[in-house]
Structure 1
Amino acid sequence: MARDQIDTQPIECRDELVAWFEAGCKAPSKFRVGTEHEKFPFTLRGHDPVPYEGENGIRALLEGMQALNCWEPIMEGETIIGLADNVGGGAISLEPGGQFELSGAPLVTVHETCAEVNSHLEQVREVATPLGFGFLGLGMSPKWTLAQTPVMPKGRYRIMANYMPKVGTHGLDMMFRTCTVQVNLDFGSEADMVKKLRVGLALQPVATALFANSPFTEGKPNGFLSFRSEVWRDTDNNRAGMLPFAFEDGMGFERYVDYALDVPMYFIKRGDTYIDVAGSSFHDLLAARHAAVPGERATVSDWANHLSTIFPEVRLKRYLEMRGADGGPWRNLCALPALWTGLYYDTTSLDAAWDLAKGWTADERQRLRDDVPRLGFKAEIAGRSMLDLAREVVEIARAGLARRDYRDSQGRDESRFLGPLDASLAAGLTPAEMLLARYGGQWNRSIEPLFDECAY
């Protein structure tokens, strides 16, 4: 989760919420790629979780990173909870269980976003190694129980952790024990947004299969290839899922506004204070009749913060967030933006991707999404295996990246970042299946080697 918004401009009516989304439309020349990824910190000795406090804790890591990169501290009261690059637009933030997140700057090419990832991971290693901890690239915390997992000192997370068990069985797992890599991409118009949203939703299970990388929980196999994806199936179904309404006639910014207005709120933020309003209605805040802040109108930041607490497979803000992939090894952090950039930022590829998916029914899309966490490439839709579908999707992305024709200093286009996906597809195995094979073989049914082989 990136930094909370600060914009106290009052919102008078629903039309202003629609206009807020419309303001995200950009000319294709202004399209950017923003990559976010999370990772689990662990102690090099003992492979234990890393607490916030202490001379070798997360606070010390943030302070060390600030000294290294000179970014601005993000504070909650007296507590440092992140860092912001006010020049480039990137940020570092903490997820609830200490997962360390880079929210990358909006960049022109995948070459640039991958260079940013590389620079960040090198900096993190430089600061963390003397503190005695490393970072793990997986979609699910493989070893620690919820009780063993530290809790970061952020007000919004206390409210969410209280509310989650009331609305699903896996909300606390989602908060404290999962990591993702996601890419944020732009749209040019309302029609372009709708098409990209539909393609993203329909094909999100493809990304889940390609990046499935969370087969272990509490030291043993959990029966899934992407347990992180399974967790989202019962976190809070009022605010997650495949958005079937997005495929209906009349879909646009207004329809998403109405959906978002109906999603229960978590909090209202005033200054540094988070007011717990979990389960209440944004409609009341919009109408200046919310019991927690009587007479106060909703602000732009209230709206932006509320949107950040909605968790569908593809999330609309003033850009689109692709949310289906597990965190993974260093090389996969560049493969995810390459995949979606190739599909979204080339008209021919976007058309081809929509042609693949447009005949599927809502039930077929949902079944695929439900099957993929356990079956990976063996899932099927419309008589077709996920392995076959994923190969075609990757080829469509590759062609799109080739047509974009952004070259690095060695003359290579962005399609080179698809290499890890090609290796998975050639083997017919998800990253999780490769880990499980090593667990059952040379690891001798121990997950401890993960902390060496899957560390950054």
Structure 2
Amino acid sequence: MARDVSDSTPISSKAELVGWIAQGEKPASEFRLGTEHEKFPFYRDDLSPVPYEGAAAGRSGGIRQLLEGMQARLGWEPILDAGHVIGLAGPDGGGAISLEPGGQFELSGAPLANVHETASELDQHLADVKAVAEPHGIGFLPLGHSPLWTREQTPMMPKRRYQIMKNYMPKVGTRGLDMMFRTCTVQVNLDFADEADMVRKLRVSLALQPLAAALFAASPFSDGKLNGFQSMRSEIWRDTDNARSGMLPFAFDEGMSYEAYVDWALDVPLYFVKRGDIYHDVAGASFRDLLAGKLPQLPGERATMSDWVNHLGTLFPEVRLKRYIEMRGADAGPVEMLNALPAFWVGLLYDDAALAAAWDLVKGWSAEDRQQLRDTVPKAGLNTRIANRPLRELAREVVELSRAGLVRRARLDDKGRDEAIYLEPVIAIAQSGRTLAERLAVREQGAWGGKVEPVFPELAL
């Protein structure tokens, strides 16, 4: 999330919260995709993490200098937090650059018409970042989990909401701080036509999110060694804050609706309430109390629309609903995987035939089936089974549905190629059954001589 919203419009009823989500509806002709990815900045000479201020590490540049360099290069508006530059906002809603708690550098892409455009956006972003970072000796590593640094070695960004989260996370799970400081993801945000379309897409994407986690698994290293998982990032989310994360089993109940998601969101504890430039720490409090003007920490304060939007942005289920649907299951990875993730989901969810066929594959799964898949994938990857079927077999079928959907969409680039070209690395993984995590683990045990440091030059952007 690039920045917290400031909209003082008061909320007088739950119906307004439901209506806010419903305003995301749009005809299929106007569907867009917005791709977000995170990456770890590091100093190339010694592979150390990059603090906010370069001087803190005796360097010419840190995260602040990167942001200021990008601002000068792009002309984007700086996003400030207590005087610190903590992000940049593109013109007319055209994307943003933001920071995760441990300095993970994030591009939140603009809403674009096809995967060709998002690939071009990524290429331009990486060219800009490289131009700004190289004079400071900084590179970027796209993996699902920080492979080398301990949590204590990882710097913290000066973003006030992160201090609130840092204080609260250990109270509700054992891995929340690792999630904050040591993970990176790639996700795509997709549109829906109406409530029924939202429900179809939410159910299919929730059921298949663990499959995406397996296909994109890229976090086999932690603390300078193999960690025993293919996606440590996915494993971390299993015990981060279960009140606000997980597989949303209620989404498969009869009568699933915008209101059902709102009811769930209202029962997830708040982190903060922002008034003006002040973040009030109300972690653990009830949004329902704020809605009723009965929040003990802020007596008489009533909920505003910005409170609702900010609260929705602090919910972390495997698939998140706002005015669009966010696919949240995949590890960050190399450029080809960053482009493959939006292609995978666009092919499945933006083609009616692919969406219907995908639903046929998963509609017979029970909540227990879905949860078992979610729990097993982080370690076993494509070696998991689902409903007595090998996941690698299902993966080949689902990836083919996506490929066919992209072909039918027929969005062509200037060379006459459709979007299926971006799915090629995932097709290769599905066909071989070997994930990037498994290939990296083999390199660590073989050519890298038991070291993880070679992953930095190998995959650096």
- Separation in 1, partners of 2:96, 2:113: 17
Number of the residue aligned with 2:174: 169
1:447 has 2:452 as partner: yes
Number of the residue aligned with 2:329: 324
1:233 has 2:238 as partner: yes
- Separation in 2, partners of 1:435, 1:427: 15
CA displacement 1:8-52 (0-9 Å, x = unmatched): 111101111111111111111111000000000000011000000
- Counterpart residue identity of residue 77, structure 1: A
Number of the residue aligned with 1:180: 185
- Counterpart residue identity of residue 295, structure 2: H
User: Contact 2:2–2:89 at 8 Å: present in 1 too?
Assistant: no
- Separation in 2, partners of 1:122, 1:294: 50
- Cα deviation for residue 428 of structure 1 reads 1.6
- Counterpart residue identity of residue 281, structure 1: S
Runs of at least 5 residues in structure 1 that lack an aligned partner in the other structure: none
- Counterpart residue identity of residue 15, structure 2: D
Per the alignment, in what secondary structure is the counterpart of residue 452 of structure 1?
A: helix
Number of the residue aligned with 1:108: 113
Q: How does 1:391-406 map to 2 (within 5 A)?
A: 391-406=396-411
- Cα deviation for residue 344 of structure 1 reads 0.7
Number of the residue aligned with 2:57: none
Number of the residue aligned with 1:253: 258
User: Contact 1:62–1:83 at 8 Å: present in 2 too?
Assistant: yes
Number of the residue aligned with 1:6: 6
1:150 has 2:155 as partner: yes
Give 2:369's match in structure 1, choosing from 364, 372, 376: 364
User: Contact 1:3–1:91 at 8 Å: present in 2 too?
Assistant: no
- Cα deviation for residue 88 of structure 1 reads 4.9
CA displacement 1:69-127 (0-9 Å, x = unmatched): 11110111211000000235200000000000000000000100111011101111111
1:51 has 2:59 as partner: no
Number of the residue aligned with 1:377: 382
User: Contact 2:399–2:430 at 8 Å: present in 1 too?
Assistant: no
1:122 has 2:101 as partner: no
Which shows bigger deviation, 83-92 or 240-249? 83-92
User: Contact 1:155–1:273 at 8 Å: present in 2 too?
Assistant: no
Number of the residue aligned with 1:96: 101
1:297 has 2:302 as partner: yes
Number of the residue aligned with 1:25: 25
- Separation in 1, partners of 2:346, 2:427: 16
- Separation in 1, partners of 2:69, 2:263: 43
CA displacement 1:373-426 (0-9 Å, x = unmatched): 000010010111111111111100111111110000000000000011122123
- Cα deviation for residue 2 of structure 1 reads 2.6
Which shows bigger deviation, 192-201 or 287-296? 287-296
- State the number of aligned residues: 456
- Separation in 1, partners of 2:354, 2:297: 48
- Cα deviation for residue 291 of structure 1 reads 2.3
Per the alignment, in what secondary structure is the counterpart of residue 371 of structure 1?
A: helix
Which shows bigger deviation, 213-222 or 83-92? 83-92
CA displacement 1:253-306 (0-9 Å, x = unmatched): 111010000000000011221110000000011011212322221111100000
- Separation in 1, partners of 2:185, 2:2: 13
User: Contact 2:71–2:88 at 8 Å: present in 1 too?
Assistant: yes
CA displacement 1:328-386 (0-9 Å, x = unmatched): 00110000000000011111111011011000000000000100000001001011111
1:207 has 2:212 as partner: yes
Per the alignment, in what secondary structure is the counterpart of residue 3 of structure 1?
A: coil
User: Contact 1:190–1:252 at 8 Å: present in 2 too?
Assistant: yes
Give 2:89's match in structure 1, choosing from 75, 84, 87: 84
Per the alignment, in what secondary structure is the counterpart of residue 411 of structure 1?
A: coil
Give 2:315's match in structure 1, choosing from 295, 310, 330: 310
Q: CA RMSD in A?
A: 0.8
- Separation in 2, partners of 1:296, 1:166: 26
TM-score, reference length from structure 2: 0.98
- Separation in 2, partners of 1:16, 1:448: 51
- Separation in 2, partners of 1:143, 1:274: 33
Runs of at least 5 residues in structure 2 that lack an aligned partner in the other structure: 55-59
Give 1:426's match in structure 2, choosing from 428, 431, 434: 431
- Counterpart residue identity of residue 378, structure 2: P
- Separation in 2, partners of 1:448, 1:261: 44
- Counterpart residue identity of residue 3, structure 1: R
User: Contact 1:135–1:455 at 8 Å: present in 2 too?
Assistant: yes
Give 1:266's match in structure 2, choosing from 260, 266, 271: 271
TM-score, reference length from structure 1: 0.99
Number of the residue aligned with 1:36: 36
- Separation in 1, partners of 2:93, 2:161: 26
1:411 has 2:397 as partner: no
- Counterpart residue identity of residue 56, structure 1: G
User: Contact 2:376–2:384 at 8 Å: present in 1 too?
Assistant: yes
- Separation in 1, partners of 2:282, 2:301: 14
User: Contact 2:2–2:87 at 8 Å: present in 1 too?
Assistant: no
User: Contact 2:201–2:349 at 8 Å: present in 1 too?
Assistant: yes
